[in-house]
Structure 1
């Protein structure tokens, strides 16, 4: 075991995660940088809307920014795997911060040309540093104990979800004292400070894109009983299940709004969204405290099945208060399922490919959500609302059931990476 590796603990805890050498530095710096992904979208939307006076322009800019951010994430993660965090993240963060600053200046003007805003937003999304994927890959390298790593991933998933809640609140406070474009400038500062803090950490400074080491090799051992999940099978499984969960969640906001309108209680919407986040945070923290002996791949499928089944049942709620209860219950499965997906990708990817494997899981989740949001807009109003809930949950249920069935060739040779 290397000098920086934690002592293996019979009862790993969140405190043990944070006591691991350099983890607090990496975790804190990355969270500071990732806060920009909670502040930048709303700041961009408000800025473009204020400067152009057009919701269509704001929507177009946001769509382009979102597409390049999500779809090019694996390519950016591949750069990190190839060149190492320091050599890849630093120029990405500098370019991203400069483009956010340019967007802030452009949006602060009067009637800026929409094509210019679209081009800047697309370019910013294309170079957004994959701080989440890098953080999880670094945690995997620093923490060879798989039970302790599961707790680290659970903590990271819950913290990331809280960032997407606190980011918009920060923008709301900021816009009370400054123009909306100031939020873009703050976002640029956050990503620069967080990325520089991350790449100057002793745990990252010496990484130059190597294909692994002792810690990396130890982290491929898998978790729970049974053989390690085959490389490509495990990554594909994590990606497929994540995409199906994204479908569940991508349509959720619109379905809840439609449910509130149908029952003439629009006030249920924020309560339902808060219940989902609260349930997810509780579920994620509980996952990190339970001593599980279920293989990661099986656990992922079971959690996705639970998420889909509960959200489908939520559509049958007789009253908005019942909907909130069902949604809170569904949230208990969300963060644990995402944590399990990231863990499975990490276990299965092999040294030198972990950053992009985690990025693909995130991309699949977001892509599924985007597609589902568009589909829900077409279905709501044309089909019974309960059926819409069921249709959006169906991919998660089906994918979970399919992935629970062992493949006939599972006993064969492991595919080469």
Structure 2
């Protein structure tokens, strides 16, 4: 979609406001992993220990994602978001202020993960109610692209704060932004207006739909590769503050550019495979050299495929489920991504500890991306063809009793 098309989309009533609110509410996602990684490594002296705490947090999010997303159809978005936000903030304050053995840090990481507010599921359920069906796929592309602002700004900000002012300050910053961003999103009028119907199907049934299962598996592998890159970059520059943050930022710049450029590209069955080729080749090239300029260039190239691939995940999920199932479906997709983040960060951390070199982290990232590519090719027939059709959810219908 051309720039004028995006401007028109953002002028649609409520779209610009809800995008800004949800990006702010999710901004801590771009800080929390690095903040925890730096804090736990500083406290324990081990990247492996830091990887375990990150894994506990990611597993907590993975377990809770579909459950809290489904709760929104039962108790309403605002109630669920307020409860989870409150607990999550307390968990981050505990990580920042308490001196604990590794199991204690892992327990708090798990609580923080379990209570992560389901912002993504909420906003991607709201989107179909804000725009007409023809604009939904471009909106998913715009969302996937703009979320990269989080990954451009947040890593630089948190690495500077944590290395210059201390890792405790970094975690306190995460807690503060959680409160501010979460409150803005929860109080947004769109959150109050959209009601998610209760799903009539059993919990977990929606993930068995082939497109949702594909989105979950590929999301697991794609985000696992990104998590491994994050750990590798931090180790490459030895917590090197600005260098590590800038390299991670350019990774996201590539994704932002790729996502904006692909906004109107039709999504056919082979769209995912084509986008993952870019990611896999770019990540494979990172292992050639650990020079900051080489890493920056190869990660920009790899990043060009990430937001477009995520847009495909969002579109095929939305187009394959009923509206009452959208929140839970996106919860499962998020679960796949979070388990991938746990696996990618933990494997990369242990390979770094075992070899003493960050190359193992980049190898992990490449293998995860290559596996995602293989899955997208092997199961290409299961991808819905969205060329010439919209990505709106299937309307909920029920029997009508006639007099």
**TM tier relative to shorter chain:** 0.7 to 0.9
1:285 to 257, 260, 271: 260
Matched, 1:33 2:5: no
1:243 to 204, 207, 220: 220
Q: Point out where structure 1 has 5 or more consecutive residues left out of the alignment.
A: 1-8, 213-229, 261-266, 408-413
Q: Which residue of the partner structure matches residue 130 of structure 2?
A: 142
Local SS of the residue matching 2:304: helix
1:277-356 mapped onto 2 (5 Å cutoff):
277-288=252-263, 290=264, 292-295=265-268, 297-312=269-284, 314=285, 325-356=297-328
> Which stretch of structure 1 is more off in the superposition, 28-37 or 76-85?
76-85
Q: Which residue of the partner structure matches residue 263 of structure 1?
A: none
What's the offset of the Cα at 1:281? 1.2
CA contact (8 A) 2:228 2:364 kept: no
| TM-score in terms of structure 2 length | 0.75
CA contact (8 A) 2:254 2:301 kept: yes
1:179-190 mapped onto 2 (5 Å cutoff):
179-190=166-177
What's the offset of the Cα at 1:79? 1.7
After superposition, what is the alpha-carbon deviation per residue over 1:217-238, rounded to whole angstroms, capped at 9, x for unaligned? xxxxxxxxxxxxx991221222
Q: Which residue of the partner structure matches residue 69 of structure 2?
A: 77
Give me the CA root mean square deviation.
Answer: 4.1
Residue 205 to residue 334, structure 1, CA distance change in 2 (3 Å): same
After superposition, what is the alpha-carbon deviation per residue over 1:196-237, rounded to whole angstroms, capped at 9, x for unaligned? 22222221113343259xxxxxxxxxxxxxxxxx99122122
> Which stretch of structure 1 is more off in the superposition, 74-83 or 174-183?
174-183
- How many Å separate the matches in 1 of 2:311 and 2:294? 27
Q: Point out where structure 2 has 5 or more consecutive residues left out of the alignment.
A: 200-206, 384-393, 398-403
After superposition, what is the alpha-carbon deviation per residue over 1:382-409, rounded to whole angstroms, capped at 9, x for unaligned? 9x999878644431231121122469xx
Residue 252 to residue 60, structure 1, CA distance change in 2 (3 Å): closer
- How many Å separate the matches in 2 of 1:342 and 1:158? 12
How many residue pairs get matched? 370
Local SS of the residue matching 2:56: helix
1:402-417 mapped onto 2 (5 Å cutoff):
402-405=378-381
Structure number with higher relative contact order (C-alpha < 8 Å, ≥ 6 residues apart):
2
CA contact (8 A) 1:86 1:207 kept: no
Residue 353 to residue 282, structure 1, CA distance change in 2 (3 Å): same
- How many Å separate the matches in 2 of 1:232 and 1:336? 22
Matched, 1:90 2:82: yes
Larger Rg: 1
Q: Which residue of the partner structure matches residue 387 of structure 2?
A: none
Residue 54 to residue 375, structure 1, CA distance change in 2 (3 Å): closer
Residue 389 to residue 233, structure 1, CA distance change in 2 (3 Å): closer
What's the offset of the Cα at 1:335? 0.7
CA contact (8 A) 1:43 1:184 kept: yes
What's the offset of the Cα at 1:316? 8.3
1:265-280 mapped onto 2 (5 Å cutoff):
273-280=248-255
Residue 373 to residue 174, structure 1, CA distance change in 2 (3 Å): closer
Local SS of the residue matching 1:154: helix
CA contact (8 A) 1:13 1:151 kept: no
2:192 to 205, 209, 214: 205
CA contact (8 A) 2:53 2:105 kept: yes
CA contact (8 A) 1:249 1:369 kept: yes
CA contact (8 A) 2:210 2:382 kept: no
CA contact (8 A) 1:305 1:400 kept: no
1:215-230 mapped onto 2 (5 Å cutoff):
none
What's the offset of the Cα at 1:125? 1.4
Q: Which residue of the partner structure matches residue 122 of structure 1?
A: 110
| TM-score in terms of structure 1 length | 0.73
